[in-house]
Amino acid sequence: MNKKFFLLVIWMFLTINTFAQKIFVWCPPNAEIGPVNDKLKGLNINIVIADFRKIVDTTHVECTSEDLITTIAQTITTAYPAAIINILDTNQFKTQAEKQKVTIRIAITAYHSASGNDASDAIGKPEENFSWGVLPKNKWNSVAGFNVVIEDYRSENLKKLTRNIANIVSRPNIGGSLTAKKALFEAYKEANRELLYFIESTLQ
């Protein structure tokens, strides 16, 4: 009787733990330092990053929001060493753009992994028209995305451009969290590539 009760308790603990840890987050790799370049040279840029993900208390998180924001900011400053980049605090996300400068607002909408449609639970929507569509079922879905707004105030007229970046990497449920982690890094790498391309192509 005691043995059966003990096994029942273990089973209940594992079951609860499995359902509680349905969203997974790991810190992305640090930005790679490439060759020195003069892209966006002398351009005065304010960058403000905010986390719009809907991370619940039961999420299995190994990377804080602050860590993720820092990594994204470092990626941009590393990519454009010749630019004059000022990283603003998150609480300045909705402040007005400064004249004679470029303001880049980056809303983190997704950076996490989950099985099946559970990945959609943590996706944030800073804009109502930002849709990710239906995610594949019975697979690890790793998602990384941003809502990016570039406000160019270098002239008398403010120019504003917006880009929604949504990257999904789906893998079979084989290999557990190791598969999810690798897929998440892939999704993040591609989302970053699109982010830097949008910044560079808009401000050149």
Question: What integer pLDDT is reported at residue 121 of this predicted model?
Answer: 82
Q: Are 21 and 61 in contact (CB under 8 A)?
A: no
Distance CA 107, CA 146 (A): 5
HSE, CB side, 13 Å, CA atoms: give it for residue 201. 9
DSSP secondary structure code for residue 25 in this structure: E
Domain boundaries, the chain: 2-203
Average predicted confidence (pLDDT) for the chain: 86
The tokens 């003069």 sit on which residue? 38
Per residue in 112-167, pLDDT (tens digit) is 999 888 888 889 987 766 677 778 888 889 999 999 999 999 999 999 999 999 99
Q: Which CATH number fits domain 2-203: 3.10.350, 3.40.50, 3.30.750, 2.40.10?
A: 3.40.50
Query: Percentage of the chain surpassing pLDDT 90?
Result: 65
Q: Which residue has the higher pLDDT, 129 or 71?
A: 71
pLDDT digits (tens, 9 = 90+) for 3-36: 554 444 344 434 434 444 389 999 999 877 778 7
pTM for the full predicted model: 0.86
CB-count burial class (<10 Å; 0-12, 13-18, 19+) for 106: buried
Q: At what angle do helices 65-79 and 176-203 cross, to 10 degrees?
A: 40
